[in-house]
Chain A
Amino acid sequence: MDEYNEGLALTRPIHIDYPQAVPATYYIDPKACLYLTHGTCQICVPACRSNAIDFSQTAEERQLSVGAVIMAPGFGRIPDETLAKFSYGKHPDVVTSIEFERLLNPSGPSVGEVRCISDRRHPKRIAFIQCVGSRDLGCNNGYCSSVCCMYAIKEAMVAKEHDPDLDITIYYMDMRTQGKDFDAAQKRAVEQYGIKFVRARVADVMPWGNSLKLTYSTLAGRHGFEPFDMVVLSVGLDAPASAKELSEICGFDLNTYDFCKTSTFAPLTTSKEGVLVAGAFQGPKDIPESVTQSSATAGLAAGLLQKQRGDGYIVKDYPQEKKLGKNEEPRIGVFVCRCGINIAGVVDVPAVDASLQDMEGVIYHSESLYSCSQDAQEMIKQKIKEHNLNRIVIAACSPRTHEPLFQETLKDAGLNRCLFEMVNIRDQCSWVHANEPEEATRKSKDLVRMGVAKARLIQPLAEQTVPVTPKALVIGGGIAGMTVALNLAEQGFHTSIVEKNAELGGNLKRLKYTVTASDPAVLLQQCLEQVKNHKLIDVCTSSEIAAINGFVGNFSSVIKTTKGKKVTEQTIDHGVVVIATGGKEHRPAKVLGSEIVYSNRVVTQQELEERLAGKAKSLDFVVMLQCAGSRGDDLAYCSKICCTQAVKNALKIKEINKKSQVIVLYRDMRTYGFNEDAYRQAREQGVIFIPYSMEKKPIITSKTNKVTISFFDPILQEEVIITPDLLALSVGVVPEGTEEMSKLLKIPINENKFYLEAHVKLRPVELSVSGVYVCGLAHSPKPLDEVIVQAQAAAAKAAMPLVKGLVSVEPIVSHVNKDLCIGCGLCESLCPYQAIRIQKVDKTRIAETIVASCKACGICASHCPTFAINMGGFTNDQIIAQIEAFGKS
């Protein structure tokens, strides 16, 4: 049984899960091996020519001495019993979302074609059922799994890409796409892909003739049933199976759902000292948040073990680089990759390989099944040695993902890593010309010939490094900024906080209580004291950044401090910048089309919170309006925090007076993760939640002494008019001062004015300018615990160049030929990264590249009127040789 493919395919007892697996070593499945289950066979032992199979091996126990532990065991499966009520296990065409994921995958059991498992027909109608094993006390999973809405939308869109005629319906309770830019993706799913979303609970799924019958009930109490060919269960994330065992071995506590127990203010610290937690075990979450937590735990562990840094650290050795003589003949090795069927399914790889025969400079050429696999690297190294190759061309996939791997192989073989050229015959040939195999093959031959032409001219390039000032600048002194500074200081780095207000604390000062009943004032006090007492932290309040110059490792900033009428300026040098400028409550003038008069009767959630924390009288009748000014009303996005904030305040109102009436008008209640518990608690205590749709928006009439709301009640199926004592608007969050900062540092912001991270999934706290990091509300709206985690992650990332003490520069940066430069300054004015500047040298103006800032985009080189600028690895000569080779078929 192939477990990697969720048991949907068969595999051999000795196998490798997938070609890119690390380590790429075959293993024996002990559940399937005849020798290990029945004590017979062992046919593999003599068959293996390397004598690599040794059945005498037994499990070993090893004792490791470590200073800290990071728990990242992931999540578990929802038990089959929970899935059984939807006929899972009874009918083969009811599948889990993970099984469906494999069915969609080109390397999966149906080679990416969506087919029913029962009779392999192409399904016409597919249903997704949300919240299977989540938000369900029936299976003791009261929490929301936080990721299922997103993956269901993704899988539905991918399925539609495979087969545009598919009819897909998603049955849901609340669409919880609260992450950054997630709502936009859902909108695409509806508008571009025609995926249907139905708010309904699914009662059951039953076999019905050749297909399946799905019975559901809507909010209005309407029951209905629909036939489907396939039903996908959006299964939640359970606690990992090993949770109890790990907690007993290590001695940390679990929460009621068997996830690791942590607190809002220290979200990654377990109850056991020195044991940290990251990823889904801390609570169900998606990839970017897991990655953020991981970076954060790395930084926290580094803070705990600051004195032991470098203990046992092994630096990889490379063999001495072979010197390449100036006129040494090129001896090129070319490897053409099949990428399984990804390339070879379209491109005639043997023909491409054969076209290399007798090509000038090519000493060795061959094809390989997967050039990126570990054994292929060994083979490349061996061929370099055997044929004394001094340049390598790989025709495979994208250099964006795989160039570093191959360059590492070159270094291992004693070659300079720039003696390498990659030709992308996957994206540019087999993918885009999937239906024209002959043309794809011809184009592959052209591209490979061009790659070889360039390879003849490539030269080794020296590795450059730039020293780093081991200090950090943190802009913004709210909880995010203070958290960054504290962690960096714990790691031993001097940090300056610049805060525009007279005091540190930011929004945290206005936060009165949390949904987990912890006291924000305690956290604030603790942080303020630690920041004040830490020798490595400087604080500049009432201060702003007047200018930032320099580049990663070598920034210099001018800080302007205004105390009364006195304005002082100081300059500080630092190696990195962390932006934690925060956000504030939005204050829309219009909500859902109604003009708003803010008064004693119409307030924001934050104002309500402050009022409830003060000596407020109990309120008899409160209405809360969610998404007031958000999600396409005034702001385009979801602010992530407002639903939990509303539930928190509703619970507080009920705590003050049980008899108070609270109505929450909402679009989707997004109390994701364990906050779902508070939402359920609020319903149990009599808070009434009524959904509204954008087709029938509530209408607000607000005067200073009276507020009236009229809305459509979907259960009564009629218009209702109410006059509460108070209307609380859940107004969302806007960033502060991002536009100014984006100009100052030349960093991009998105259309909602939040900073745009370098990579949404894999580099969530880094910005496109090296050495600049972002966290907190300046990145996107998020609750306190996520702000703290993101700040810890930003601190970890920012510490990396400071730890190294130097920045290594990609050798492909631009290079100015001083003899040809006329000092016109065109390059300086065009560079998007401030990486090239005009310097005066003996009265003449000459351009100079700041290598640490250069991103090698090539804009300067392509615009230089005198061809004075060349890009490392992409010189004019090399590119012209490529173009000429294209002409010679």
Chain B
Amino acid sequence: MGKAKDKQSGAILVVGGGVAGVQAALDLTDLGYHCYLVEKSAAIGGAMAQLDKTFPTNDCSL
């Protein structure tokens, strides 16, 4: 967390690049904010990327 010295930073840190983190980051940019998305594994997507289809409509999840 940034320690504000003279001016508070307007950037936002998102921890976790699953569907929740990715959506938060996308929405933040749409709201006009610079965003750092931090993910521990090699690719974003999290658990949702392992799913084939999603309930209840059986849409593809990728």
- Do A and B assemble together? yes
In angstroms, Cα B18 to Cα A297, docked, is: 15
Is there an interface contact between A66 and B9, defined as CB atoms closer than 8 Å?
Answer: yes
Q: List CB contacts (< 8 Å) of A57-108 with chain B.
A: 64-75, 98, 101-102, 104-106, 108
In angstroms, Cα B50 to Cα A17, docked, is: 10
In this complex, what residue of B is CB-closest to A63?
Answer: B2
Is there an interface contact between A74 and B53, defined as CB atoms closer than 8 Å?
Answer: no
Stretch in A210-218, A307-315, A880-888 with 4+ CB within 8 Å of B: A307-315
Q: List CB contacts (< 8 Å) of B39-62 with chain A.
A: 42-59, 61-62
Q: How large is the interface on B (under 10, 10 to 19, 20 to 34, 35 or more residues)?
A: 35 or more
Contact with B56, one of A24, A150, A313 (Cβ below 8 angstroms): A150
Is there an interface contact between B9 and A298, defined as CB atoms closer than 8 Å?
Answer: no
In this complex, what residue of A is CB-closest to B42?
Answer: A27
The interface bits of chain B over 21-46 (1 if a CB of A lies within 8 angstroms of the residue's CB, else 0) are 11110011111111010000011111
Contact with A308, one of B9, B19, B58 (Cβ below 8 angstroms): B9
In angstroms, Cα B15 to Cα A613, docked, is: 42
A151, A158, A295, A491 pick with most chain B CB within 10 angstroms: A295
In angstroms, Cα B32 to Cα A4, docked, is: 34
Chain B residues in 8 Å Cβ range of A275: 1
Is there an interface contact between B10 and A311, defined as CB atoms closer than 8 Å?
Answer: yes
Chain B residues in 8 Å Cβ range of A158: 52-53, 58
In angstroms, Cα B62 to Cα A105, docked, is: 12
Is there an interface contact between A803 and B49, defined as CB atoms closer than 8 Å?
Answer: no
Q: How many chain A residues touch the partner (CB < 8 A)? A: 80
Query: Closest CB of chain B to A700's CB: distance in Å?
Result: 32
Query: Closest CB of chain B to A610's CB: distance in Å?
Result: 35
In angstroms, Cα B33 to Cα A98, docked, is: 35
Is there an interface contact between B47 and A75, defined as CB atoms closer than 8 Å?
Answer: yes
With A287-B48, A291-B20, A294-B23 already in contact, the answer to whether A66 and B1 are too (CB < 8 A) is yes
In angstroms, Cα B10 to Cα A254, docked, is: 27
Is there an interface contact between A313 and B47, defined as CB atoms closer than 8 Å?
Answer: no
Is there an interface contact between A294 and B27, defined as CB atoms closer than 8 Å?
Answer: yes
In angstroms, Cα B58 to Cα A105, docked, is: 12
Chain A residues in 8 Å Cβ range of B54: 154, 287, 761
A301 at the interface (CB under 8 A from B): yes
In angstroms, Cα B2 to Cα A280, docked, is: 25
In angstroms, Cα B57 to Cα A798, docked, is: 26
Contact with A102, one of B14, B15, B50, B59 (Cβ below 8 angstroms): B50
With A182-B55, A299-B27 already in contact, the answer to whether A310 and B43 are too (CB < 8 A) is no
With A67-B11, A314-B34, A796-B27 already in contact, the answer to whether A18 and B49 are too (CB < 8 A) is yes
Contact with A17, one of B16, B22, B43 (Cβ below 8 angstroms): B43
The interface bits of chain A over 102-129 (1 if a CB of B lies within 8 angstroms of the residue's CB, else 0) are 1011101000000000000000000000
In angstroms, Cα B62 to Cα A761, docked, is: 12
In angstroms, Cα B51 to Cα A18, docked, is: 12
Is there an interface contact between A294 and B20, defined as CB atoms closer than 8 Å?
Answer: yes
Is there an interface contact between B45 and A290, defined as CB atoms closer than 8 Å?
Answer: no
In angstroms, Cα B42 to Cα A25, docked, is: 8
Is there an interface contact between B30 and A800, defined as CB atoms closer than 8 Å?
Answer: yes
Q: List CB contacts (< 8 Å) of A304-335 with chain B.
A: 305, 307-314
Is there an interface contact between B48 and A22, defined as CB atoms closer than 8 Å?
Answer: no
Is there an interface contact between A305 and B8, defined as CB atoms closer than 8 Å?
Answer: yes
Contact with A74, one of B10, B33, B47, B62 (Cβ below 8 angstroms): B47
In this complex, what residue of A is CB-closest to B7?
Answer: A308
Chain A residues in 8 Å Cβ range of B57: 760-761
On A, residues with C-beta under 8 Å from B are 4, 6, 16-18, 20-25, 27, 64-75, 98, 101-102, 104-106, 108, 150-151, 153-154, 157-158, 179, 181-182, 184-185, 246, 250, 274-275, 278-281, 286-287, 290-291, 293-295, 297-299, 301-302, 305, 307-314, 491, 760-761, 796-797, 799-800, 803-804
Enumerate 5 A-B pairs (CB-CB under 8 Å) in ascending A order: A64-B36, A71-B16, A154-B56, A302-B33, A309-B10
On B, residues with C-beta under 8 Å from A are 1-4, 7-16, 18-24, 27-34, 36, 42-59, 61-62
